[in-house]
Structure 1
Amino acid sequence: MKIKQLQIENLRVIQTLTLEPGNGINFICGPNGAGKTSVLEAIYLLGQGKSFRHAEAGPFIRNGETSCLVVAETDDRLARSSRLGIQRGRKSFLARHGGIDIRRRSELLRLLPVQIITPQSHELLERGPELRRRYLDFGLFHVEQSYHQVLMSYQRGIKQRNAALRSGNGRLAISFDEQLAGVSETIVRLRRGILETIESNLARFMQEMSFPNEVKLQFSPGWKEDVSLEKALKGHLERDLAQGYTSVGPHRAELKILVGGRRAEKYLSRGQQKVLVYGLVLSLSQLIVEKEKEPPVLLIDDLGAELDTLNRTRIVDYLSGREEQVFITSVDQPANIHDRDNAVFHVEHGCLQ
């Protein structure tokens, strides 16, 4: 997916801004507080229906205004043009594509797939397994048409089973086990199916970054694999009744990221963690491209955060010539910015210079 034109109104410091980005790397430069990150926030809002900085709409609506508006003219990989827009009030949400209202957030995710790397992205390694499950599910959502429905079916089943557990009704809880086990087989199979490709893409990226250690991805489905999930659910019933929730299943899956056989978050420096996060995000994006799906728009907030000059140069080199459209914010222009056919924009006080 490519954004041909982006219009932003009343988002943080931006009153009105129109941007016509290039198809490759777009550098958004300017001093702190100028509104650079707000441009990325606007794109993320279009693709996700929310901000990556705040869960609520209020903080990103310009002071004194009741709503913000973001509209994009886009081209897909078949060169079909369309218009996507979102208006967010503090308690209201309106999204349209081609003049038709969008009712579900999943529709936005398909219309404008977006990946983002921020100064906080090391949390993908350091926080609990939920973020890494979301990482896998993002890729599957975009390469396996049926995955979203399968995952929703599983989540509905877990919600019903948990309600039965909280009410103390073990017999009712057990009645969901067979259905959950069947759906879980599909989820685990698909999650495992993309890991080999991600790991292969990641190895190539880390080699280009001259990363000194081998990175391995180790997946656990969410229960001990020497038994079926249905047996595992029955075996944990007493504990689940006491706790009021289901303790085994794909919602408890874990993706461990190992470097030299050790957990990455415990072994790597913060700068090395950031390089690894770039590798994980770009490897997943490459998987989507290889499956001939819509390439995600890649957002990078603060290129210089945790990266030295050499790694910043390597990242830009790696991104050049790829299918993804990229938006990068930076206080200063990278040294190699003019070595390629890149677009450069300067933002000051919420205005495009």
Structure 2
Amino acid sequence: MCHYADAGINCTVHLQSVDLYQFRSFPDGHFEFCPGVNVFFGPNASGKTNLLEAIHVLSNLRSFRSRNFRELIVWSKKNASVRGVIQDRGGNRKQLAVDIQPHGRIPLLNAKSCKQSKDFLQIMPSATFVPDDLSLVKGAPAFRRYFLDKSVFHFYPPYWALLTDYNRVLRQKNTLLRRLQQGHGRQGAEEACEVWNLQLQSLGTKIIVQRLLFLNSLKRQLAEVYARWLGDEETLDIQYKSGIDSDMKELQTIMNPLAGGNIDDLSAIVLEGYERALRRAMAREVRQGVCVVGPHRDDLDLRLRGRLLRAYGSQGQQRTAVLALIFAGVELYHERYAEYPLLLLDDVGSELDTQRHAKLFDYLQQGMQVFITSTHRLNLGEHELSFDLSTRKGPVQAGATDPF
């Protein structure tokens, strides 16, 4: 079994163990992990991805497979839970838990309900790759906004409050727009909309600026990751697509020399474009009964050799791009905090050729805690702990593992 000293791992958050109760295919189960690479292997339907999903839920308070919490609970049961013990950055042990009910979940820290999700989400950050999930490339814009917002939050925690306040004001404006659409409250409507617009402009500008600053850093890491061991000579780029009336090339020009530079100039240009876009959209918003301009409608474009990946990329190229995006975020997190998030990889080996496969496994030895699924043993080295899920009968115990 590997230990911190053996693995040469500087203390990041380490998930030491997980207990499952009525989660997916596990009536119950107990797993103890090493701080290096943990491999869940076995044939299809043996529970590999379910275990990975449970760790994801413990980190993110949501599944990467379904928004329906009922699906996470063993059939005919009323609730489920995922409980974990972590060692934090200071070497302290903490107990995390997510109690799952058909219509929601309750996060707990050290057996006490965690009142604000944002506090729980900062405890054990993670990055997850699932090969069948191409939503980051060709799914609805909401998937890419979630990826972006979650990422920005981990680099700028006040972002959570910005989003919360923005969504509150957005709901209030949409309520007014629906009334106007139905022919109610026409008198004074323009003044009322202006009140909400001023708040949306202020909050929305801050959100967009934080997104742009994050993406400016991510673009650099994405190019390096893709060129180093994923993309050969191809170039992968990510671009922010906004409905505000601002020139994105002008914004990019401002950000390029921005090594902690002039955010005020960037904010001023975004705000001016936001104001123009809202004025231009007023009649359309009244017709549709909904606000059509702002960060809640913005999107990301991934481009390979300058071509839109979701339109022109093969499925293999799209999967490789998602993998590169995940690892670019991991590297950016490490650059910022000198530690790694948990890395969750579902059957990633099947997506890579032999050369890239070897580069990936070298990368995983850098000192991060990794959870990876496979149909077979991977034999990644002395700092690997493998779990054979094909042998389980009822509860899965740590004794069913084979440490390397």
Whole-Å separation in 2 of the counterparts to 1:150 and 1:281:
24
Matches within 5 A, 1:122-271: 122-168=134-180, 169=186, 170-171=189-190, 172-211=192-231, 212-225=233-246, 227-271=272-316
Q: TM-score w.r.t. structure 1 length?
A: 0.92
Moved more, 89-98 or 147-156: 89-98
Q: 1 CA distance for matches of 2:199 and 2:77? A: 49
Letter in 2 for 1:326: V
Which of 374, 378, 381 is the equivalent residue of 1:339? 381
Deviation at 1:286, TM superposition (A): 2.0
Q: 1:86 to 1:214 in 2, by over 3 A?
A: same
TM-score by length of 2: 0.81
* Structure 1 contact 270–306 (Cα < 8 Å) conserved: no
1:185-242: CA deviations, max 9, x gaps?
A: 2112111111122111112211222513111222233312065312321221001100
Which stretches in structure 1 are left out of the alignment for 5+ residues? none
Of the two, which has the highest radius of gyration?
Answer: 2
Indicate how the Cα distance of structure 1 residues 50 and 329 shifts in structure 2: closer, same or farther if over 3 A, else same: same
1: CA distance, partners of 2:346 / 2:236: 25
Secondary structure at 2:33's aligned position in 1? coil
Distance in 1, matches of 2:337 and 2:299, equals 28
Hey, what's the Cα distance between the residues in 1 that align with 2:297 and 2:67?
24
Partner Cα separation in structure 1 for residue 332 and residue 372 of structure 2: 21
Distance in 1 of aligned mates of 2:286 and 2:119: 36
Identify which range, 298-307 or 193-202, moves more after superposition. Answer: 298-307
Deviation per residue, 1:269-307 (Å, 9 max, x gap): 222221211111111122222221874222112224443
Shift of residue 91 of structure 1? 4.5
Q: Which residue of 1 aligns with 2:183?
A: none
Aligned to 1:117: 129
Deviation at 1:254, TM superposition (A): 2.3
Partner in structure 2 of residue 46 of structure 1 = 58
| Residue aligning to 2:91 | 79
Contact residue 174 and residue 234 of structure 1 kept, 8 A: no
Aligned equivalents of 2:225, 2:107: Cα separation in 1: 36
CA distance in 2, matches of 1:16, 1:204: 42
Q: Is the 8 Å Cα contact of residues 47 and 113 (structure 1) preserved in structure 2?
A: yes
Runs (5+) with no aligned partner, structure 2 = 1-12, 181-185, 248-271
- CA–CA distance in 1 between the matches of 2:69 and 2:221? 36
The aligned amino acid for 1:328 is I
Give the alignment partner of residue 68 of structure 2, picking from 56, 63, 77. 56
Q: Secondary structure at the match of 2:244?
A: coil
- Distance (Å, rounded) in 2 between the aligned partners of 1:113 and 1:261: 32
Measure how far apart 1:76 and its partner are.
1.9
Give the deviation of 1:253 after TM superposition: 1.8
- Identical amino acids, percent of aligned pairs: 28
- CA 1:111/1:338 → structure 2, altered by over 3 Å: closer, same or farther? closer
- Decide whether the 8 Å contact of 1:181 with 1:230 is kept in 2: yes
Alpha-carbon separation, structure 2, partners of 1:189 and 1:141: 13
AA paired with 1:122? L
Q: Shift in Å at residue 78 of structure 1?
A: 2.4
Aligned CA distance change for structure 1 residues 174 and 293 (closer, same or farther; 3 Å): farther
Aligned partner letter, 1:215: L
Task: Tell me which amino acid in the other structure corresponds to 1:194.
Answer: F
Q: Which amino acid aligns with 1:258?
A: R
Matched, 1:66 2:87: no
Distance in 2, Cα, partners of 1:32 & 1:21: 22
Contact in 1 for aligned 2:230/2:324 (Cα 8 Å): no
Q: What CA distance in whole angstroms lies between the structure 1 residues aligned with 2:69 and 2:338?
A: 30
CA-CA distance at 1:77 after TM superposition: 2.2
SS of 2:203's partner is helix
Tell me the CA shift for residue 176 of structure 1.
0.8
Q: Distance in 1 between matches of 2:52 and 2:71?
A: 15
* Superposition deviation, residue 330 in structure 1: 0.9
What code does the residue aligned with 1:154 have?
Answer: Y
1:313 aligns with 2:358: yes
Whole-angstrom distance in 2 between the partners of 1:43 and 1:92:
17
> CA shift at 1:181, angstroms?
0.9
Separation in 2 of the partners of 1:185 and 1:239? 21
Alpha-carbon distance change, 190 to 50 in structure 1, aligned in 2, over 3 angstroms: closer
Distance 1:48 1:217 in 2: 24
Equivalent position amino acid for 1:126 in 2: K
Judged with a 3 Å threshold, the aligned counterparts in structure 2 of structure 1 residues 121 and 159 are, in CA distance, closer, same or farther, namely same
Residues 274 and 307 of structure 1 are in contact (CA less than 8 Å); yes or no, is this contact kept in structure 2?
no
Aligned to 1:14: 26
